Amino acid sequence: MKSAVIVFPASNCDRDAATALEQMTGQKTHMVWHQDSELPDVDLVVLPGGFSYGDYLRCGAMANQSKIMGAIKKHADKGGAVLGICNGFQVLAEAGLVPGVLMRNAGLKFVCKPVALTVEETQSTFTRKYSAGQTVTFPVAHGEGNYYADKDTLDRLEGEGRVMFRYQNNPNGSARNIAGILNEKRNVLGLMPHPERVVDPLNGGTDGRALFQSLIETLS
Amino acid sequence: MKARVFVTLKNGVLDPQGKAIGHALNGLGFASVGDVRQGKVIDLELSETDAAKAKETVKAMCEKLLANTVIEKYEIELK
């Protein structure tokens, strides 16, 4: 599986994502600068965590205006896999590649801790190596992870099996405990918790490995 | 021409910052304060001199960047 990680100004999980990908795939990951207008030939594009553009205006809003987003939208339109983690999820939501918005945490505090999640769906490129209902622990680190969408959108996400991960103890006020969702075509996943931080046992867990294994199995 | 854009959360969208401000005001003894909603003000200087055109342009800016219309609404004031 060939992959690329997008680097925005103030991305800070780009190298974590690349390290996880390289460890899992055994292949070099392309680091793509936000001002580039084209993607290399890859199967997976990762929008990493961080605070792109200092979260100015709204988190993800400025990153969505950067040059590379046009190429990412094209890649997604063609059915290419896109994974947005944390700030990457916020960028995907601003770009309309997944529905809804990530708002300020209901408790107003930055939340930084491991959280237990339920894997809701395994019918996807991203989660097929998990079992449905499985509990996994991923770290979260965000101030704006409070997922919001109108009732119809939430009903549709649930009805179409597009809620992939749910918090077992909601840390941020997210609607229906949503931690991660798919787009309609099921090739774009946005999630607030960090699977790339739980790939190496030295970092305290390996629950994120199955997400990358799922991608490798489907896209290689 | 100058434009002032007010971006606020739509009715019904939870505003935790507004709530915290309300609690703080109550704590300071401003007991008459009920619900508080907060938002942003963005001031723009425009080279456009035609008010109708300016409003149209600023509206496009709001839709494309200044507001996220999933949760936010905006008002435009021209000066």
Q: Which residues 19-58 of A are in CB contact (within 8 Å) with B?
A: 57-58
- What is the reported pTM? 0.94
What's the gap in Å between the CA of B29 and the closest CA on chain A?
22
Q: Which domain holds residue B56?
A: 2-78
| Residue B55 backbone phi and psi in degrees, to 5 | -65, -40
Residue A121 · residue A164 · CB < 8 Å: yes
pLDDT (0 to 100) of residue B14? 87
CB contact under 8 A, B65 and A149: no
Cβ neighbours for A188, distance < 8 A, ≥ 6 positions apart:
A76, A81, A82, A83, A84, A92, A97, A98, A182
Mean pLDDT of the region A129-142: 98
Work out how many domains chain A is built from and give that number: 1
The amino acid occupying position A201 is P
CB contact under 8 A, B71 and A101: yes
| Burial of A38 per CB tally in 10 Å (0-12, 13-18, 19+) | exposed
Among B16, B65, B71, beta carbon nearest to A106:
B16
Q: Is-catalytic flag, A194?
A: yes
Q: Which domain holds residue A168?
A: 3-219
User: Which residues does chain A have within 8 Å of residue B17's beta carbon, measured at their own beta carbons?
Assistant: 104, 108
CB contact under 8 A, B65 and A57: yes
| pLDDT tens figures, A65-112 | 999 999 999 999 999 999 999 999 999 999 999 999 999 999 999 999
pLDDT cut 70: percent of chain A above it: 100
Mean pLDDT of chain A: 97
Among A65, A104, A148, beta carbon nearest to B17:
A104
| pLDDT tens figures, A21-80 | 999 999 999 999 999 999 999 999 999 999 999 999 999 999 999 999 999 999 999 999
How high is the ipTM of this complex?
A: 0.84
Tokens coding A63: 């990153």
B13 lies within 8 A of chain A by CB: yes
Which CATH number characterizes residue B68's domain?
A: 3.30.1280.10
Work out how many domains chain B is built from and give that number: 1
Q: What distance, in Å, lies between the first and last C-alpha atoms of chain B? A: 6
Among A57, A148, A173, beta carbon nearest to B71:
A148
Which CATH number characterizes residue A182's domain?
A: 3.40.50.880
